[in-house]
Structure 1
Amino acid sequence: MTTAAQLDPQLNRAPEQIRHIHLMGICGTAMAAMAGMLKENGYIVSGSDQNVYPPMSDFLAQAGIAVMQGYRPENLEPRPDLVIVGNVIRAIYPEAQRLAELRIPYLSMPQALGHFFLRSGIRPMVVAGTHGKTTTSSLLATALHRADRSPGFFIGGIVEAFGSNYRIGNGEHFVIEGDEYDTAFFNKVSKFLHYRPHYAIVTSIEFDHADIFADLDQIRASFSQFVRLIPKEGALVACMDDPIVAETAALCSGQIIGYGTGANCRWRLADFAAKGLGSIFAAHKDGKLFGEFALPMPGKHNALNALAVIALLEHVGLSVEEIRHGLASFEGVKRRQQVRGEVNGITVVDDFAHHPTAVRETISALRLAWPERRLLVVFEPRTNTSRRAVFQQDYETAFAGAEMVVVREIMPLDHAAPGDSFSSRQLAAALNAQDIPAEYFPDTDAILAFLLAQAKSGDVIAILSNGGFDNIHVRLLENLKAICL
C-alpha cells in the first residue's frame, strides 16, 4: 500500500481543500475525537468500525457522523478524498484491501493530527511517559484554559472541565497525550513521533506494551527519538527521579528542565501532605520557594505530575497565581481515581491503573485519602501486557495497602506461547501468602456476587481496569442500592 505522504506529501491539496474524510476504526476513543475535530472544522466525515456501540456510537450520532458496521469494501463509496486508518485496522481487512486498490490517499491518526491541527503557528505540548500521561496533560490543558490561553488538546481521557477529550482551541498551545504505542499497520513507530513537540513532559520510562516492544531498550530507543524532535528553542520537562528519563533527556537539544524530589532537580517537590481526597505541596525552583499549591487529587505521584505542569507553565510565562488557580480548580479526569458513587457508606472508585507501578501508586493514593477505611481492590488484567507473564512477580508486590484483592481471570491471548500467560490464580496465592486476602474469579458476575456478600458500610471498593469491565461500576452500585431497599 502507498501512504498519503508517498502519494503526495501535501495530499495534493491543502487541508481546507479536502471535503470528505473517512475514518476506518472510528469508534476508538482517539479516532472518534479526531472525527469530531474534523467535523467541527467543516469536513464531511464518515467512518466504519466492527464495534459500533455506546458511548462512542452515541457521540458520533450526535455529531452527525455516519458510521458503517464492519470493514466492507463498499464503505469507500462514494470515494472519499482522504482515509484515516486507525491502529486496530489490519492489512487483510477487505476495506483496507479496497483502499489499496483505489489508491486513495491515507494517513494514520497521529499523522492526521499533525497534518490538520499542528500546523504553522501552533506550539505542541506533548506529555509522554509510561505513567501519568492523561492526568498530566489534563492538568496542563485545564490550567491553560483557566488562564484564558484557549489551548487545543487531544487527550486519552474525558477532561471534566470540558466534558470532552479534545478541543481545537484558538491559542498557540496544543496539548497532546503522547502515547508510545505504535501508529498503524503501515507505520510501526510510536504515535508521539508524529506530534511535532515544541515543548514536552516525560514523566517516566518503564517497560510496557509487550505486544509491540521486545524489551526496555526498544522503549528507550523510541523515547530517545522523541526527545530529539524538540527544537533548540523548545524545552523538555523531565522527571529526574527516574534515571532512564534523566539519561534520555540529555539527548534533547532544547532546554532541559528537571523536576522531582531530589536535590539535583531544578524544580523540587517539598512538604507534600494528604488532605482528604486532595493534596497540598510546595514547589521549589532553583532552591527557592516558588509557591504553595493545593491539588484536588490524592497521591504523591499526582503532586509530581502537577509539579511538571507548574514547571512548564512557568516556562511559557504563566504567573504563580494563574498556575495556582488552574491546579486548585482542576475537576479531574474520568476513570482516574473517580468516585462513581456511594451507597450505604460503601464508596465505589474507578481507576485506569493496569501497569504494576500504576496499581501500586493508585493504592498508595487511595490509602492516603481514606486511611481509616477498609480498601477492597478489584483488578482486571486486560491489556496485552498485563495478560502476559512478564509482570507476574511485579503484580505480586503491587497491592500493598489493600485489605482485600479480587482478580478477574484473563481473557486468553490469541498468540501467547505456552507459559507466557499471566495467572490470576498465582497472583491470588501470592497475595494470600503475604496476608493480603485475595480471590480470583472467572467472570464479572462472580466478582459482583462476591463483593455484594463481602462489602459493608465504610468500605472503599476500587476497581482497576483500562477497559469497560462489563459495566461493573454501575452494576455494583445498582445492586447495592437494591439490597438497601
Structure 2
Amino acid sequence: MADLDPQLNYAPEDIRHIHIMGVCGTGMAALAGMLQQSGYTVTGSDSYVYPPMSDFLKKLQIPVCDGYSAQNLDSDPDLVIVGNVITRVNEEAQRLGELPIPYLSFPQALSHFYINNRTSLVISGTHGKTTTCSLLATALHRAELDPTFMIGGIIREFGGNFRIGEGDYFVAEGDEYDTAFFNKVSKFLHYQPKIAVITSIEFDHADIFNDLDAIKDSFRQFVSLLPEDGLLIANWDDENVRDVVAGAKCQVQKYGLDESYHWSLADVTVKGGLTHFAALHQGKPYGELAVKLPGRHNALNSLAVTAILHHLGVDAKTICAGLSSFGGVKRRQEVRGIEAGVTVIDDFAHHPTAVKETLAALRLAYPEQRLVVVFEPRTNTSRRSIFQTDYVQAFDAADAICIREPVPLTNINEGEHFSSAQLADDLCKQRGLVATSFTDTEAILEYLDNQVEPGDVVAILSNGGFDNIHIRLLDLLKNKNL
C-alpha cells in the first residue's frame, strides 16, 4: 500500500492544473470555483453527485470524473487537493502515493491561496456556522468592505458560496471536523484566525471524536491560535464555550441573553420569516435589527456578527442595513416551494439541538399551521445510537414526524446503530407526538401524498440530497392540484 510522501505535502511555485479529490463536497466545490476564478485549470473527482453542488460545478464547466480511479491522475496535475472524504485505501489516493505530485488538504489549500494575505475572520461552533458566516459576508459586502469568503452554503445575495474580493477580510467557516486522512486535526486549526466567534460547543462527530472533552481540546487549540491583538467573540450562555476560552490570550467579548455581557439581545419577536430584536452593547441600546431568519438562535448569530462589524469600525446604521438585507442560505430554513397550499421547507439540521432549534423557529414563523417534519439521520454521528435518546426531546414543536431509517454504517457493531423505529415509538409514548418510521423515501412520499392538506408546512431535515424528496413532493402536490 502506497502512503503519501510527507515531503510532497506543499504547494509548488509553478501551478497551472489542480485536481481535487472529493470535489462535490460543498466546501470543495466552492474551492474549485475560487481556484478556477483565480486562473487555474481545475478538474475533480467524486463518487456521488447531487444538487446543488452538481449544478454548481456544471455551471462552472469544471470537469468531474464519476468515481475515483487511478486513471484520474493520468493528466499529471501540478497539485492535488485531497478532501477529507478520501481514505488511505482509496484507489485514487493510492495512485497519488505512487506519483511525485505535490498535494494539500482542503484547509491547507484554502489557507495557502486565500487566507495568507488577508485578515481571517473565523466563525466556529457546533451550530450556526454557515448562517453566521453568510450574515457576516453579506454585511461586509453591504458595508463596501469587499470580503473574500468560502462558506458551506449557497448565499442568495451572491448566488454562490464563495467570492474573491479585493478587501482585507477573509470569512472562514471554522469546521472542527478533521482535515484529511494524512492530517487528523480539525480544519479550523489551519485558518490563521485574527477575529473569531464560537457560537456553541456540544458533542458531535462521534466518528472522529471520542467524547466532548476531545472536542473541547480541539477548540482550546483553536483559541490558542488567536494573537494577543486578536478578538474572540464567545457565546457566554454556553458553559462549554466559557470553559474553552478561559485561557485565551486575546481580548474576549461575551454575547448572549444576559445584559451584563458585552453584547446581548432584547425584545425578540418573530413574525413570518422575520426576526426583530434590539441589540444591547454594554447593557445600553445599540440598534434595532431585523433578519429574514426565524428564531432566537438566528438573532444570536446576528448579534455575533454585529460585534465583529462594530470592532471593525462599521457604524450601527450600516450594520443594521447589512443584516436586514440578508436573503438567506440555501438549505437553511429554505422554502423550496408552495403547491396545493402546502409549504415545503428544506433545512440542514441533523444534531438534536439543531433539530430542536430549527423546529422551534419554524413553529414561531408558522404558529397557526400544522408542522409536518421529515427527518433523515444521515451523518456518521446521527446514524449511531449515541443520540438515540437526545432526539426524543427535539421534535416537540412538530405536529407530525416522519423518520427515515438510516443507511446502516458498516464499521460499527449492530447494537450501536440508530433506530428510527425506536425513535418514532419513543416520540409517541414519551412525548405524545404523532411519529412514524419509514424504510425508504418512496414510503415517506406516499404517506405525505395521502396526509398533507392545504395550509400544512412540511419541513425536511437532512444534510444530504435525501433522494430529491423536496422536488418529488412538490411535483406530487402540483399534480394533486391539477
TM-score (norm 2): 0.97
Letter in 1 for 2:99: L
Q: 1:62 to 1:349 in 2, by over 3 A?
A: closer
In the alignment, is the contact (CA less than 8 A) between 2:372 and 2:401 conserved in 1?
A: yes
Q: 1:2 to 1:472 in 2, by over 3 A?
A: closer
In the alignment, is the contact (CA less than 8 A) between 2:4 and 2:96 conserved in 1?
A: no
In the alignment, is the contact (CA less than 8 A) between 2:9 and 2:104 conserved in 1?
A: no
* 3-state SS of 1:198 partner: strand
Deviates more, 1:472-481 or 1:410-419: 410-419
- Distance across 1 between alignment mates of 2:4 and 2:346: 42
- Give yes or no for the alignment of 1:159 onto 2:155: yes
- Give yes or no for the alignment of 1:324 onto 2:297: no
* RMSD of aligned alpha carbons: 1.4
User: What does residue 280 of structure 1 align with?
Assistant: 276
- Distance across 2 between alignment mates of 1:428 and 1:39: 46
- Distance across 2 between alignment mates of 1:8 and 1:455: 54
Deviates more, 1:66-75 or 1:324-333: 66-75
- Give yes or no for the alignment of 1:389 onto 2:385: yes
Letter in 2 for 1:257: Q
User: What does residue 108 of structure 2 align with?
Assistant: 111
- Distance across 2 between alignment mates of 1:393 and 1:343: 35
Letter in 2 for 1:137: C
In the alignment, is the contact (CA less than 8 A) between 1:144 and 1:150 conserved in 2?
A: yes
In the alignment, is the contact (CA less than 8 A) between 2:50 and 2:465 conserved in 1?
A: no
User: What does residue 236 of structure 1 align with?
Assistant: 232
Q: 1:12 to 1:428 in 2, by over 3 A?
A: closer
- Give yes or no for the alignment of 1:264 onto 2:260: yes
TM-score (norm 1): 0.96
Please state how far the C-alpha of 1:103 moved relative to its aligned partner. 2.4
Counterpart mapping for 1:62-141 below 5 A: 62-120=59-117, 122-141=118-137
Counterpart mapping for 1:351-430 below 5 A: 351-430=347-426
Please state how far the C-alpha of 1:279 moved relative to its aligned partner. 1.0
Deviates more, 1:444-453 or 1:20-29: 20-29
Letter in 2 for 1:170: E
Please state how far the C-alpha of 1:18 moved relative to its aligned partner. 1.5
- Distance across 2 between alignment mates of 1:78 and 1:210: 37
User: What does residue 302 of structure 1 align with?
Assistant: 298
In the alignment, is the contact (CA less than 8 A) between 1:3 and 1:107 conserved in 2?
A: no
* 3-state SS of 1:232 partner: coil
User: What does residue 254 of structure 1 align with?
Assistant: 250
Q: 1:443-474 CA deviation, whole Å, 9 max, x = no partner?
A: 11110111111111111111111111111111
- Give yes or no for the alignment of 1:458 onto 2:433: no
Letter in 1 for 2:95: R
Please state how far the C-alpha of 1:71 moved relative to its aligned partner. 2.2
- Give yes or no for the alignment of 1:216 onto 2:212: yes
In the alignment, is the contact (CA less than 8 A) between 1:377 and 1:406 conserved in 2?
A: yes
Unmatched 5+ stretches in structure 1: none
Please state how far the C-alpha of 1:275 moved relative to its aligned partner. 2.2
Q: 1:197 to 1:64 in 2, by over 3 A?
A: same
- Distance across 2 between alignment mates of 1:154 and 1:403: 37
Please state how far the C-alpha of 1:8 moved relative to its aligned partner. 7.1
- Distance across 2 between alignment mates of 1:293 and 1:335: 23
Letter in 2 for 1:24: M
- Give yes or no for the alignment of 1:42 onto 2:39: yes
In the alignment, is the contact (CA less than 8 A) between 1:2 and 1:103 conserved in 2?
A: no
* 3-state SS of 1:483 partner: helix
- Distance across 1 between alignment mates of 2:39 and 2:217: 38
Q: 1:207-243 CA deviation, whole Å, 9 max, x = no partner?
A: 0011111100000000110111111111111100001
- Distance across 2 between alignment mates of 1:341 and 1:322: 32
- Distance across 1 between alignment mates of 2:342 and 2:111: 45
Q: 1:137-176 CA deviation, whole Å, 9 max, x = no partner?
A: 0000000011111101110000110010111111001101
Q: 1:391 to 1:123 in 2, by over 3 A?
A: same
- Distance across 1 between alignment mates of 2:371 and 2:291: 22
- Say which of 143, 146, 153 aligns to 1:150: 146
Please state how far the C-alpha of 1:51 moved relative to its aligned partner. 2.4
- Say which of 445, 452, 468 aligns to 2:442: 445
- Distance across 2 between alignment mates of 1:189 and 1:446: 40
Please state how far the C-alpha of 1:2 moved relative to its aligned partner. 4.5
Please state how far the C-alpha of 1:42 moved relative to its aligned partner. 0.8
* 3-state SS of 2:414 partner: coil
- Say which of 33, 39, 58 aligns to 2:30: 33
Deviates more, 1:242-251 or 1:439-448: 242-251
Q: 1:54 to 1:277 in 2, by over 3 A?
A: closer
Letter in 2 for 1:158: I
Unmatched 5+ stretches in structure 2: none
In the alignment, is the contact (CA less than 8 A) between 1:3 and 1:106 conserved in 2?
A: no
Deviates more, 1:29-38 or 1:94-103: 94-103
Q: 1:106 to 1:201 in 2, by over 3 A?
A: same
Letter in 2 for 1:404: A
Letter in 1 for 2:325: S
- Distance across 1 between alignment mates of 2:379 and 2:274: 29
Letter in 2 for 1:108: S
Letter in 2 for 1:366: L
- Distance across 1 between alignment mates of 2:375 and 2:283: 41
Please state how far the C-alpha of 1:65 moved relative to its aligned partner. 2.4
Letter in 1 for 2:436: E
In the alignment, is the contact (CA less than 8 A) between 1:409 and 1:424 conserved in 2?
A: yes
Please state how far the C-alpha of 1:319 moved relative to its aligned partner. 0.5
Please state how far the C-alpha of 1:52 moved relative to its aligned partner. 4.5
- Say which of 468, 471, 479 aligns to 2:476: 479
- Say which of 304, 309, 312 aligns to 1:313: 309
* 3-state SS of 2:415 partner: coil
Q: 1:34 to 1:478 in 2, by over 3 A?
A: same
Q: 1:341-397 CA deviation, whole Å, 9 max, x = no partner?
A: 112221111111110000100111011111111111111111111111111111001
Please state how far the C-alpha of 1:12 moved relative to its aligned partner. 4.5
Please state how far the C-alpha of 1:250 moved relative to its aligned partner. 2.1
In the alignment, is the contact (CA less than 8 A) between 1:18 and 1:81 conserved in 2?
A: yes
* 3-state SS of 1:363 partner: helix
* 3-state SS of 1:250 partner: helix
Q: 1:157 to 1:462 in 2, by over 3 A?
A: same
Letter in 1 for 2:171: V
Please state how far the C-alpha of 1:262 moved relative to its aligned partner. 1.8
